[in-house]
Structure 1
């Protein structure tokens, strides 16, 4: 995929943390490490609260689908085929409909979002501001794209910022994640969006 020969990044590692080392030829591992790094900036460093609403929606759809499958299995056990024919057909059709709903949910609702973070008002007087992080890294590609969307809790106005950069900018030759090089980029994007709010 890529070889970082132009520069050797020096990774600063927090005393109590082990450096994140991955197989730099595995695009899935690269994306997960970068996603976790962006998540760490908002949740662990900035102290935002993570919202699991998107994930809960996906789990709900999957749970209902599995419920239909389990019901069909149990019904067929107590009422062997062909007595269970109509119930099995109903459950199978419902299962595939829910798989279609899940595909729609992943494509048009989640849209690659891996984190929804809530910025709570210190005085607890205003609604929470919402930060959504989504990313892409195609297989056999070396360009990682990160998008941060900001929704003002009071005005409901939404703004977003994106950046695309070669993954070699964030990992050294041994596949160690250089968080100290990645963190400023995420924080700069967040500050730009927050500054737009103050200007408006």
Structure 2
């Protein structure tokens, strides 16, 4: 049984991640996934989904409003449903405005939030956040990694900018060890800065 699990792990590691290297969005998402896998699998940080849950809650409210409008209009055809439709459309646009503000000012391109827990339980929990952006028609991948000490209320961040060609070969295959080396150096610089303080 353990041999099968080991073979499955080796098989999963052997599968390369291939993307269309000319599709900036696909390249960014592939690199983001590689960074997320390093934080959650190599370092065993526990992923926190609260940021994503906030966005999903706002989207669910918007969909609920749209369903109410649709059902009300179905049960009471247009002239009778005019007032409810106006209220639903207004509420929908308000929720969409809140969602836009949420993604712009709260999420800020963050694609993973992960907690580093001390196995002994002595040190305070550290919260790691990774965000990135890749401009349209640009090959510069910007990665920002930040760490926040919940107990002390301190935070620190570092960023790096590299060409995607450094992490993806000519066939569009992501080279995980190069992404891992970048993330390792960023983590080391943040933990070294934290120990110096």
The TM-score, its normalising length taken from structure 2, stands at: 0.91
Q: Structure 1, unaligned stretches of length 5 or more? A: 1-13
Could you tell me which residue of structure 2 aligns to residue 31 of structure 1? 28
1:71: how far off?
Answer: 0.7
Aligned-partner Cα distance in 2 for 1:135–1:108: 14
Could you tell me which residue of structure 2 aligns to residue 15 of structure 1? 10
Could you tell me which residue of structure 2 aligns to residue 139 of structure 1? 136
1:125: how far off?
Answer: 4.8
1:25-65 per-position Cα deviation (integer Å, ceiling 9, x unaligned): 11111101110111111001000000000100000001011
Could you tell me which residue of structure 2 aligns to residue 53 of structure 1? 50
Aligned-partner Cα distance in 1 for 2:196–2:122: 21
**How do 1:17-96 residues align onto structure 2 when only pairs under 5 Å count?**
17=13, 18-96=15-93
Contact kept in structure 2, 1:126 and 1:153, CA below 8 Å: no
1:127: how far off?
Answer: 4.2
Which protein is richer in helix relative to its size?
A: 2
Contact kept in structure 2, 1:68 and 1:94, CA below 8 Å: yes
Aligned-partner Cα distance in 1 for 2:80–2:87: 13
Q: Structure 2, unaligned stretches of length 5 or more? A: 1-8
Cα 1:126/1:87, change in 2 over 3 Å: farther
Could you tell me which residue of structure 2 aligns to residue 180 of structure 1? 177
Match 2:150 to one of 153, 162, 172: 153
**Higher relative contact order by CA 8 Å / sep ≥ 6: 1 or 2?**
1
Aligned-partner Cα distance in 2 for 1:48–1:99: 32
Aligned-partner Cα distance in 1 for 2:79–2:123: 60
Aligned-partner Cα distance in 1 for 2:60–2:118: 34
Q: What is the SS of the residue equivalent to 1:174?
A: coil
Aligned-partner Cα distance in 2 for 1:67–1:100: 16
The TM-score, its normalising length taken from structure 1, stands at: 0.90
**How do 1:88-167 residues align onto structure 2 when only pairs under 5 Å count?**
88-167=85-164
Contact kept in structure 2, 1:137 and 1:144, CA below 8 Å: yes
* Number of equivalences: 187
